[in-house]
Structure 1
Amino acid sequence: MVNRKQFGIWMDGHNATVIGSDNAETENLVVLAHIKGEQAAQNSNEKNEHNHKQSLQAKFFKEITATMQNATHLHVTGTGQAQEQFIHYLAETPQFKNTKTEESTSNKMSDENLVEFISNKLN
């Protein structure tokens, strides 16, 4: 893992926990951030509601990527379709288009268990 920027994320549609190294000199993984996305309010216009959901999702994904500068390897896990959507978002983002991504499905777990899970996936 030395000289590589590796990160792990557990996410669902509205919550994300970002795991990464707290120090470039060590390989210790820690929780870097807990990010909560906004929920879209109900809208009587279906098109407007869809557009609002898309913009909130983009904002959520940008908040996540802000914690993963210069990522070279990323493991995304969680529930639902959020991981796949996030990986597609990264592929379309110039800064992350060369980032190696992997995904898996897992239920929500404690921060300690998540750090251990991501450590096993990245090594």
Structure 2
Amino acid sequence: MKTKKKLGIWMDHSNACLIEFSSEIKETETISSNYTFQDKGETLERSENIMHNKEQHKQNTYFKNIANVIRGFDEIILFGPTNAKMELHNLLKENHLYDSIKIEVQNTDKMSDKDQHTFVRNHFKKFAVYNFEL
């Protein structure tokens, strides 16, 4: 029986912390959006329409970078304080490449790295299936 690969992603619109659920402790990988307040200020000076286009383009790139990582997993929990997780979830639902991946979404507050790891561990442990020998 194949072991399912599980990933927790705490995210907002600027950063995504990717936490793989496994028996060994792994480093948290971070993916960041390239859209900064400096970008917003510079483009807003020229045109509000240009600012929104640039923001949307960089946000889509950010979501695509996260989506590329997700493709290697069987189960995902998206969590965090903003609606970024729902935006990503909606994009993934539209793409049939992600149909076989179980994706859940949950609202949480801002969390420390330790709290994020604990959340992911507790989330996947409560759904663990144990095999007992008779």
Q: Which band: TM-score by shorter chain? A: 0.7 to 0.9
TM-score (norm 2): 0.75
Is structure 2 residue 20 aligned with structure 1 residue 33? no
Q: Is the 8 A contact 1:12 1:78 kept in 2?
A: yes
Runs of 4+ in 1 over 4 A off after TM superposition: none
Structural mapping, 1:4-83, within 5 Å: 4-21=4-21, 27-28=23-24, 30-39=26-35, 40-41=39-40, 42-43=43-44, 44-83=46-85
Rounded to whole Å, the distance in 2 between the matches of 1:16 and 1:71 is 16
1:117 — aligned with what? 119
Stretches of structure 1 that go unaligned for 5 or more consecutive residues are: none
Q: Secondary structure at the match of 2:69?
A: coil
Rounded to whole Å, the distance in 2 between the matches of 1:61 and 1:96 is 14
Q: Is the 8 A contact 1:30 1:115 kept in 2?
A: no
Moved more, 74-83 or 45-54: 45-54
> What percentage of residue pairs aligned between the two structures are identical?
25
Rounded to whole Å, the distance in 2 between the matches of 1:4 and 1:65 is 18
Rounded to whole Å, the distance in 2 between the matches of 1:114 and 1:61 is 20
Q: CA deviation at 1:66?
A: 3.3
Relative to its length, the structure with more helix (as a share) is: 2
1:92 — aligned with what? 94
TM-score (norm 1): 0.80
Deviations 1:46-101 (A, max 9, x none): 33222211111111112223333422111011111101001112122343233211
Q: CA deviation at 1:45?
A: 2.6
**Structure 1 vs Structure 2 CA RMSD:** 2.1
Change (3 A) 1:32 1:65: farther
Q: CA deviation at 1:29?
A: 5.4
Rounded to whole Å, the distance in 2 between the matches of 1:92 and 1:122 is 25
Larger radius of gyration: 2
